[in-house]
Amino acid sequence: MKCAKLATSVLQRQANPTQFVWLAHSRFGAGVEACFASLAQGKVDVPMPMHIGIPQSPSAGPGDCHIKGGYIEGMPTFTVKVSTASVASEH
């Protein structure tokens, strides 16, 4: 399986975690290997992750945001992942 197919495939969770791991490896193992091979060949651009800290204030926070991304040479798309976490204010 090529990297592009890995990027467009969807995993469905199984009730048994062991089945999920087996399914993931059987369906995506070769694709994951191809992606790591591209990385080793210098064909992947993965910038350093970005972190935004959000201090406690009357209108926001506390919380944070992490932003990661990457691009594999020759692919029609790139990936950006944004993850946020916050603690609800009691006010």
Please tell me the predicted confidence (pLDDT) of residue 6.
46
* Tens-digit pLDDT profile for residues 20-66: 555 556 667 777 888 889 999 999 999 999 999 988 888 877 889 99
**Which residues, other chains included, contact 27 with Cβ-Cβ below 8 Å and sequence gap of 6+?**
1, 9, 11
Pairwise CA distance, residues 8 & 26, whole Å = 16
pTM here?
Answer: 0.59
